[in-house]
Structure 1
């Protein structure tokens, strides 16, 4: 009977090792993703180097679900550039094209007016009440590249939380079945 107990102990310790290996692997994946994210923030000079286009306001250039890569540098913003900006009182950044740049001669500050390519009017209706221009602190970055449709994963998980739980459940099931 001693060899049965030894065999069961061996199987249990093997399963524990396998689970620990899975946990360490998952930790390495998460850590690698964070390192890549931090590297991108350093290279681009931007706290948020990647954003997902959430609406059709920039079609046909960018479609809903496209991922934009952003960069922030000290070059002056020009008419025609695509910028991502935050508006006071709104949590979600907006991706639109610069249509006017106004420089205040007395202070040297730059003011910007934006518009979605697919919109009929400029963005003043989106800005905070009484605000006519964006200022430099509103700008999160300039679009320097994109990946089409990849952001749909984020959109689906945000708009339909059930899918997020299904993905988490599937990953959990994958870990459990892989230890057998």
Structure 2
């Protein structure tokens, strides 16, 4: 592999680096474009658990949207992120509570495959979440396409193996 790199002149190496940077920047532009058009910081998420079965399985890729004027209603499937937690949660809204004083809307969520609501997941003594916690509402999904992401998180060495295989493929099949 390194012998191939040594045989390449500076211009060929620069071209390979530019190709990789183009691919990365294109992916970032697509991500940012989706985020802006769907009005959410995270337009695509992967289901990490079985709490929403049978609707969504582990590894399903969810497409999210959060229009400004689109109210959240009972039975909407939302992705929310709690303060201090890195992983967003995908669950269904089961109850709403509107506070007349503050004008805020409060939500209670539950996974379809769970026996209890999510109050055990919320912060201590927190009974509801509010719209600020919502990352987006599920608008569509692609089954199992996110399993690669789950596998790479469960087995970190797999990331490097995949990068190595791709690198070898590029070096062997370059023109």
Give the TM-score, by structure 1 length: 0.88
State which of 75, 85, 108 in structure 2 corresponds to 1:90.
85
Does structure 1 residue 79 correspond to structure 2 residue 82?
no
Does structure 1 residue 103 correspond to structure 2 residue 80?
no
Greater C-alpha radius of gyration: 1
Residue-pair matches, total: 169
User: Counterpart of 1:35?
Assistant: 29
Partners of 1:109 and 1:42 in 2: CA distance: 24
User: Counterpart of 2:163?
Assistant: 168
Deviation at residue 22 of structure 1 after TM alignment: 2.1
User: Counterpart of 2:3?
Assistant: none
Partners of 1:20 and 1:88 in 2: CA distance: 43
Change in Cα spacing, 1:136 to 1:98, as seen in structure 2 (3 Å) is same
Show structure 1 runs of 4+ deviating over 6 A.
none
| Aligned residues of 1:59 and 1:117 also touching (Cα < 8 A) | yes
RMSD of aligned C-alpha atoms?
Answer: 1.7
User: Counterpart of 1:4?
Assistant: none
Which deviates more from structure 2 when the two are superposed, residues 135-144 or residues 167-176? 167-176
Q: Deviation per CA, 1:69-115, whole angstroms, max 9, x where unpaired?
A: 11112221000000000112211100000000110112211000000
Give the TM-score, by structure 2 length: 0.90
| Aligned residues of 1:19 and 1:179 also touching (Cα < 8 A) | no
Partners of 2:13 and 2:144 in 1: CA distance: 34
Does structure 1 residue 52 correspond to structure 2 residue 67?
no
SS at match of 1:167: helix
| Aligned residues of 1:88 and 1:127 also touching (Cα < 8 A) | no
Partners of 1:36 and 1:173 in 2: CA distance: 26
- 5+ residue gaps, structure 2, are 1-6
Does structure 1 residue 62 correspond to structure 2 residue 56?
yes
